[in-house]
Amino acid sequence: MQAINPLRIVSINVAQPRDVNWRGRVEPTGIFKQPVTGPVMVRRENIDGDRQGDLTVHGGSEQAIYAYGVEDYSYWRDLLKRDLSWGTFW
């Protein structure tokens, strides 16, 4: 039987919606997430401090948390030839 490595969280990122110009329109977005320090409460609909700009396509109990594997960052760093901070992929 193969050992399973425990899950380790390396970054939690949150954002408040802000308006951006997109294809000739002003659209709200929560894409500009920043890391937080310390514990945060995970709730049914989101993480405290995090909001989505367009609730018709984002958010809700099925999309409260997004996880991206650490091991995939090495692939993208090599391919893009640049440093990528945790939370780059949302």
- The pTM is what? 0.77
Q: Which tokens go with 81?
A: 């030839």
What pLDDT shows up at residue 4?
A: 81
Residue 5 contacts residue 12 (beta carbons within 8 Å): no
What pLDDT shows up at residue 90?
A: 59
Quick check: 1 pLDDT over 80?
A: no
Residues 67, 70, 74, 77: is their CA dihedral positive or negative? positive
User: What percent of the chain is predicted at pLDDT more than 70?
Assistant: 99
User: What percent of the chain is predicted at pLDDT more than 90?
Assistant: 42
Q: What is the mean pLDDT of residues 21-49?
A: 92
Higher pLDDT, 66 or 15: 15
Query: Could you tell me the CA-to-CA distances from 75 to 5, 37, 70, 71, 82 in Å, in that order?
Result: 20, 26, 10, 8, 11
Of 17-21, 23-27, 52-56, which range is least confident? 52-56
Domain spans, the chain: 13-80
